[in-house]
Amino acid sequence: MANERRLTCIVCPKGCDLVVEFDDTGAIKNISGYTCPRGKDYAIAECTAPVRTVTSTVRCEDGEVVAVKTAKPIPKEKIFEVMAAINKVVAPNTLKIGDVVIEKVAGTDADVVATANR
Amino acid sequence: MFDYVVIGAGVVGGLVARELTKYRLSVCIVEKTSDVAMGATRANSAIVHAGFDAKEGTLKAKLNVQGSEMMEDLCSELGVKYKRNGSLVVGFNEEDEATLHSLIERGEKNGVKGLSFVRRDELVKIEPNIGDGVTCALRAETGAIVCPYELCIAAVGNAMDNGAELKLNFEVKNIEKCGDVYRISSENETVEAGAVINCAGVYSDDIARLVGDDSFSVRPRRGEYMLLDKECGSLVGHTVFRCPSKMGKGVLVSPTVDGNLLLGPTAEDIDDKNDTSTTPKGLSHLSSLASEQVKGIQLGKVITSFTGLRATGSTGDFIINSPIDGFINCAGVESPGLTSAPAIAKYVVEMLKKSGRELKENERFNGVRRPLHYFRELPVEKKNEIIKENPDYAHVVCRCETVTAGEIIEAIRTNPKPTSIDGIKRRTRASMGRCQGGFCTPYMVELLAREMGVPVTEITKSGGESYINVGKTEKGNI
Amino acid sequence: MTELNNVRRADLVVIGGGPAGMAAAVAAYEKGLRDILILERDDNLGGILRQCIHNGFGLHRFGEELTGPEYAYRYEKQVKEYGIPYMLNTMVIDVDENKVVTAMNRECGIFTVEAKAVILAMGCRERPKGALNIAGTRPAGIYTAGTAQKFVNMKGLMPGREVVILGSGDIGLIMARRMTLEGAKVKAVCELMPYSGGLARNIEQCLNDFGIPLMLSHTVVEIHGKDRLTAVTIAKVDESRRPIPETFETIPCDTLLLSCGLIPENELTKASGIRLDRVTGGAVVDGERETEIPGIFACGNVLHVHDLVDYVSEEAVIAGEAAVKYIRGEKSHGMALNLVTDGKIRYTVPQKITSAEKTKVYFRVANVYRDVKIVVKEGERVILERKKQKVAPGEMETVLLSADMLAACDKNATISFSLEEVKK
């Protein structure tokens, strides 16, 4: 029975190899391999409720595209829902870095914000 | 109704059409693809052969020597780069040595000047990177290099400047003769002409069959090439051929007029006239052969590899004849076809004159064409004058070859107008450098779309369905 | 158009307004230099970061995770706040050994700038497809990953819908995810080597998240399609990287993206006569990123390809500050240490150290090695040892040589960098 899970940490470019061990109830028993506290947090999140930051572009009224991101990570299973919402938007031509394009996208608590200037 | 229709816009068709515009005639070139120079002209060895190769007494031998002598003046008229770099045919043993002597003899019979035999000790002085196994060579001072598609583009462009019409995407499906008039049809269009010149390269036998001439056939011979970075362009000065032997004809290692190093071609008879794919076998064969002739070839510096199809005729000689009145074949124009092309054009006109067709001189003919690459050759003050008038010339689009937006726009507006990214590339060298379009393709797509007045998604690499992008990213309602 | 002003002067000319160039200019400004000019070929500051819209930048430098354009904007804002002069759409066409920079743009035509110091920060480019010499046809649909990135992220265009990627460099991995998010189907990423050239976290979040297979020791052997790409044939390769015929498999696709590594863009450097390092493809420099032509410095990806932009900025600061010292005549050349490597360590930057000041040495390894130590020696004398669980070619490594360590070396010593096994 597999009672451990091996992960590659995605928090920073070091990409530490993490090992998460579970007890018989499926609860996390031990985490090893991380080299910073954020790595440990990532391992816990990845095994309980994995999240990702989505980056993409939105089209403006004049047809040009501008880069956007979710201002914080969203549940991993919602990535394509978030993309669908981003793809529906038509943003103003005056978009500036940090402007909110979509509030609380796809029922998450994350806003979609512009990451570049027009 | 045209006086003449030329089928095929390769270097032969282009130069024939240009030759015809020297007379008071209406000329139309029909071309199957979306650009000129797309067949054997697009991909060949780019060599002006001295003329010792072709068997004495053949039409090939005669037109080769004539063409070689005409080429320099023609290139200077058309603003095409030409360099008389000389050729070497290298031998590896005594048997080769004997062959080289007989080649010199043949060359002299053909009327080639400047042939000599050189031994290794002398050879290494003129070409220090010659292969270690090379013992001797034939040296041909009149051997030269030229860019075949540049010559073709200039020839067609100059013919158009002198009144010729060019119809692209016109694939000849049928030719009908109604009295003295030929009706040449594609799927959607028909043109009429008093006479037809068949310069259709590998397809010229198919075209001849449309008028009932099945006296010859043309088979494509695949030739694979590798082009190396300009860094390697000075590895040799001469074009280095290999002495033909039982082992085959070998390949050549040559600088190009643009400063790259070219290796090739392999030789493989195939059946598919559309098959311009390269093969793993061909490329590896090519690299090992080339390395025997010249040492220090860095295969890591290959920037592209490609295949050309030579139109090999069934008679062994060029097939330039008139099977029926008013229809002339220029077929089986394999190597040295590029070299011979200027002479073929003259020869065709002589044939027409002899057949009693009326050819009145066109006093307004202007054979001079400004080259598209003139800008980068100019001194700084001149460049600044041009930039002042048109700032597009200060905007570098292709970093590797330093091609500006001004040059690209000028190329897009100049006959024969390119309609694809590869078309721009062949005219301006944009994207032909070491990054092979990595940075400049997106910008070229925008420029071409703007100039052609079409959406960016319509832009193709090379006509047909070769779209660069398959659509827009699906977002917004726009 | 105004009258052409064809000869200018500046204390410092920075060639390139990307993350390296901007950071170098900002660092020089902060050291008190004012007469600076940044020359940028694109229509905006920011360089290639503008199209790198994914996140993961700036964790080291700013302590937060930024996207490429956001990272670039931090520097752009600073350049503008300081009022550092810059020219956009300006292509430098020549730099000579006297630090005369020739450039052109629409407003000024071709002009020269006589500089006291020059910083080269032109970045890098992708290895082109031709170098890969794949057999087959030459249809549309074959792009480097960076070209596809520009089409998708900057132009809102889709270069294709069914994608195979050759090479597992980071841009390729990032584009696998990006194309997937935009509705394309990425069928496989083939990597010639038995290990990926990209960061482990990108394999995780760009491939594994979306179930995209990473096929190690695989390559593309043939391209199919007349007008547009219709398929590629892939194959497994043996130890000497030759395709194994029994493993040929044809995958229908309309797009092949190439992500086979980056090359510093050193045309200008080469033309100016500056000596290049054959391994990095960038200039040979000292600890302060000065090339062998005094007063010409280099930093960022034009010097060696970095894995993280954070390190690009860090290096740019070194070059920017050193250029100021040079202009003020304060740059010392007290020693001439020569840094050499054992092959397992492929290269070091710097390649030379000319003053006994604290120096961070960057390097990359040739293969994946586990349980090793990095050993720095002067002759047989060990200067420094550092244990490593794992090192990989995709990740840049560093060691810090302190001023004391350097001062203890002979002035003309050869310093060797090697990887040794650690016995368990």
C133: left (phi over 0), alpha (psi -120 to 50) or beta: left
Length of chain C measured in residues: 424
Question: How close B227 comes to chain C (CA, Å)?
Answer: 9
Mutate to test the interface with A, among C70, C206, C208, C214 (most CBs of A within 10 A): C70
> What is the percentage of chain C residues whose pLDDT exceeds 90?
88
Give the residue, C108 or C131, on which the prediction is more confident.
C108
Residues B146 and B256: their CA atoms lie apart, in Å, by 7
Longest distance between any two alpha carbons in chain A, whole Å: 57
**One fold for both B84-145+221-310 and B374-458?**
no
* CA-based nearest residue in chain A for residue B472: A63
Chain C's closest residue to A87, CA to CA, is C182
Contact A116 C50 (CB under 8 A): yes
Residue B62 has which token pair? 């005669």
What is the CATH topology of the domain spanning B2-40+149-218+315-354? Answer: FAD/NAD(P)-binding domain (3.50.50)
Question: DSSP letters along B24-71, please?
Answer: S--EEEE-SSSSSS-STTTSS--EE--SSSSPTTSHHHHHHHHHHHHH
Count of alpha carbons within 13 angstroms of residue C78, beta-carbon side: 20
Q: Chains meeting A at 3+ CB pairs closer than 8 A?
A: B, C
**In the CATH scheme, what architecture does the domain B84-145+221-310 have?**
2-Layer Sandwich (3.30)
Regions in chain B scoring below 50 on pLDDT? none
Identify the bridge partners of residue C363 per DSSP, sorted by sequence position.
C348, C397
Phi-psi region of C414 (alpha: psi -120 to 50; beta: other; left: phi over 0): beta
B265: preceding bond cis by omega (within 30 degrees): yes
Whether B466 and C158 lie within 8 Å, measured CB to CB: no
Q: Are the beta carbons of C227 and B400 separated by less than 8 Å? A: no
**Whether C169 contacts chain A with CB within 8 A:** no
CATH number for the region C333-424 comes to: 2.60.40
pLDDT the model gives residue B303: 85
State yes or no: cis peptide before B336, omega within 30 of 0.
Answer: yes
* 3-state SS, residue A71: coil
Cis peptide before C393 (omega within 30 of 0): no
- Cα separation, C368 vs A17, whole angstroms: 15
The answer to whether A86 faces chain B, any CB pair under 8 Å, is yes
d(CA A3, CA A21): 6
Please tell me the predicted confidence (pLDDT) of residue B9: 98
Q: Which CATH code fits C6-126+262-331?
A: 3.50.50.60
Residues 459-478 of B with CB under 8 A from A: 473-478
pLDDT digit string, tens, across residues B191-205:
999 999 999 999 999
String of b and e for A43-77 (b: at least 16 CB within 10 Å)? Answer: beebbeeebbbbbbbbbbeeebbbbbbbbebbbee
CA distance C122 to C24: 12
Residues B233 and B258: their CA atoms lie apart, in Å, by 9
Chain A nearest C-alpha distance from C323 (Å): 30
| Interface subset of A 3-62, CB within 8 angstroms of B | 57-61
pLDDT of residue B215: 97
Look-up: residue for tokens 């297979």? C213
Q: Mutation test of the interface with chain A: which of C149, C201, C306, C395, choosing the one with the most A Cβ atoms within 10 A?
A: C201
**C contacts of A115 (beta carbons < 8 Å):** 53, 67, 69-70
B476 with A59: Cβ contact below 8 A: yes
- Residue-wise burial string across B70-98, b where 16 or more C-beta atoms lie within 10 A, e elsewhere: bbbebbeebbbbbbbbbbbbbbbeeebbe
Do C6-126+262-331 and C128-260 have matching folds?
yes
Q: C67 CB near a chain A CB, below 8 Å?
A: yes
| pLDDT at residue C1 greater than cutoff 50 | no
Q: Are A34 and A16 in contact (CB under 8 A)?
A: yes
Q: Does B116 touch chain C (CB under 8 A)?
A: no
Give the distance from residue C276's alpha carbon to the nearest chain A alpha carbon, in angstroms.
28
- Mean pLDDT on C241-259: 96
Query: How far A91 CA lies from chain B's nearest CA (Å)?
Result: 8
Q: Which among C93, C140, C150 is the nearest to B466, CB-wise?
A: C140
Tell me if C166 sits within 8 A of C258, measured CB to CB.
Answer: yes
Beta bridge partners of residue C101, listed in sequence order? C95, C113
Phi, psi torsion values for B305, nearest 5 degrees:
-130, 150
pLDDT tens digits along A35-94:
899 999 999 999 999 999 999 999 999 999 999 999 999 999 999 999 999 999 999 999
| pLDDT of C44 higher than 80 | yes
Best residue in B278, B398, B404, B426 for a mutation probing chain C (most C CBs within 10 Å): B278
**Alpha-carbon span C140 to C290, nearest angstrom:** 43
Q: What is the dihedral of CA B230, B233, B239, B245, to 10 degrees?
A: -90
- From chain A, pick out residues whose CB is under 8 angstroms from the CB of B475: 57-59, 65, 86-89
Shortest distance between the Cα of A40 and any Cα of chain C, in A, equals 15
CATH topology of domain C128-260: FAD/NAD(P)-binding domain (3.50.50)
pLDDT at B401: 85
Q: What does CATH list as the number for B374-458?
A: 1.10.10.1100
pLDDT at C5 over 70: no
Question: Would the CB atoms of C205 and A10 count as touching at under 8 Å?
Answer: yes
- Phi, psi (5° rounding) for residue B384? -65, -35
Binning pLDDT at 50, 70 and 90, where does residue C415 land? very high
Chosen from C106, C180, C279 to mutate, greatest number of chain B CBs within 10 A: C106
Per-residue confidence (pLDDT) for residue B280, from 0 to 100:
83
Q: In whole angstroms, give the CA distance from residue B227 to residue B230.
A: 9
Instruction: Give the mean model confidence (pLDDT) for residues C160-181.
Output: 96
| Chain A interface with C: residues with Cβ < 8 Å | 7-15, 17, 52-57, 59, 63-65, 67, 69, 76, 79-80, 83, 97, 115-117
> Which residue in B196, B235, B213, B142 sits closest to B28, CA to CA?
B196
How high is the ipTM of this complex? 0.94
Q: Residue B478: which of A57, A59, A86 has the nearest Cβ?
A: A59
CA distance B303 to chain C (A): 4
Mode of pairing for the β-strands spanning B27-30 and B396-398: unpaired
Structure tokens at C345: 């360590």
DSSP B179: T
Distance (Å, rounded) from C-alpha B115 to C-alpha A60? 68
Taking the domains of chain C in order of start, what are their residue ranges?
6-126+262-331, 128-260, 333-424
pLDDT digits (tens, 9 = 90+) for C56-77: 999 889 999 999 999 999 999 9
CATH 3.10.530 fits A55-114, yes or no: yes
**What are chain C's partners, defined as 3 or more CB pairs within 8 angstroms?**
A, B
Q: Is B101 an annotated catalytic residue?
A: no
Q: pTM for the full model?
A: 0.92
